[in-house]
Every structure is written in structure tokens, then in C-alpha cells.
Amino acid sequence: GQQLNQSPQSMFIQEGEDVSMNCTSSSIFNTWLWYKQDPGEGPVLLIALYKAGELTSNGRLTAQFGITRKDSFLNISASIPSDVGIYFCAGQYGNFNKFYFGSGTKLNVKP
Amino acid sequence: GAVVSQHPSRVICKSGTSVKIECRSLDFQATTMFWYRQFPKQSLMLMATSNEGSKATYEQGVEKDKFLINHASLTLSTLTVTSAHPEDSSFYICSVSQADRVATEAFFGQGTRLTVV
């Protein structure tokens, strides 16, 4: 399957700080999705991106589809303790209706 | 988005037995569902694509005889782990993709924690 490089692997931040994470791929993707996963649960969709250059927000979350279609980033502004979890990017390429996942970014927020 | 339900959420089985995991799309008729596997502190690895009314397609390195997939209806796909061994212990998650001309999104079940003893 596809290899998605996601960074950073983990982050330790103070409540109120902004956070940024990104994913890169070797292939051109048609769609980028960002998910959050809590322990023992399935991933929950946060933001979906469909066009190169697209910038989309969902509350304090903002994500962008890179111009080259090989990367995407997710920003979280003014982090709060409930933002703690693992964030995954997922990408779809070609005519395949399936998604491949990045390695995840574990976010820790200190109150 | 689509509502996806998995059952059971947790299962413990003895080595050598088979375990069936169900994935239901509650509000959406899914011709295609996907099965993922996730080891602790790792990412989701796509195992196979479940196609309604036809054979599943497996990702490279996934044993189709080990992980049997049946997608008999538009709302139900099952994954059977046959002759389970401790190394099959993992978190198994299914997903449903909703696609139209413009967009594709994937929604996930809550996952099944399989422990083989």
C-alpha cells in the first residue's frame, strides 16, 4: 500500500498553544482526510479536502491540501485538554475508493 | 456522515478457534466496505476491500484464507479470523466510503479488540 509520512510522531504542548502537523506522500492524492482517534475507538473524521490548495476549517481546526497534491497539514489553534488523542491523515489516490493512513501524531496537552 | 457499527467491540478467543466480526452500515447502503488492522501505537493498515456480491480484494501480504470476508448485503460485511493465533491479536476496524462525483469520505466503526490466548 501507499506510504504516508506523518510528522511529528508526538507533541507535548501547553493548553492554549497552537499545533501543526503534516503528511507527505510519494504519490499524487485526490483526497486528504484528517481523523482523530481516542484510545479503543475508531477514527472520527475531522476535515476532508478535495482540491489542491483547498483550505478548510472546522472550528479551531484548519487543514490544507497542498498545491503539489502530495502533502497536507492540519493546524489546531488554542489547544484544550480534550484535543488529546492521536491524529491521522489519510489519502486517496487514483481511481481507488480506499484510503491509506499516515503513522499518526500523538498530541498531549498539559492544562 | 455514514453511521457504522461493529460487533463485538471486544472478543477473547482461544488459539485455533475462529472469530467473526460484523460491520454494519446503519444509514447507508454500502457496496464497498474496508477492513483495517491496527497494532498498539501504530497506524491503520488496510487489509482488504469488501465488495457486495463479489469476492473481496486483499492488500499485498494479507492472507485471504486467514481473513475471510463476506459482504452478502449492502449493509453488512463480516471478517472471520480463521484458526486464530496470538499474533492475530489486534484492533480491527471497518469503514464505509461515501462517494459521489465530487467527494469521497470514509467513516469508521468503533473497532473490535481481538485477543487470542
Cα four-point dihedral sign A56, A80, B42, B3:
negative
**pLDDT value at residue B116:** 97
- Averaged pLDDT, B57-64: 93
A50 vs B43, B103, B110: nearest CB: B103
Place of cell 488523542: A85
Beta carbons within 10 angstroms of residue A78's beta carbon: 11
Q: Is A93 on the interface with B (CB under 8 A)?
A: no
Q: Report which of residues A79 and B3 the model is more confident about.
A: A79
- Averaged pLDDT, A69-75: 96
Query: What is the distance between the terminal CA atoms of chain A, rounded to a whole angstrom?
Result: 38
Taking contacts as CB-CB distances below 8 angstroms, the residues of chain B near A99 are: 34, 46, 95, 97, 106
User: What is the overall mean pLDDT for chain B?
Assistant: 90
**pLDDT value at residue A76:** 98
Cα A39 → chain centroid: 17
**pLDDT value at residue A1:** 58
pLDDT tens digits along A12-42: 999 999 999 999 998 889 899 999 999 889 9
Q: Is B86 helix (H, G, I), strand (E, B) or coil?
A: helix
**pLDDT value at residue B52:** 84
Q: Compute the distance between CA of residue B105 and CA of residue B57 in angstroms, rounded to an integer.
A: 20
Taking contacts as CB-CB distances below 8 angstroms, the residues of chain A near B49 are: 97-98
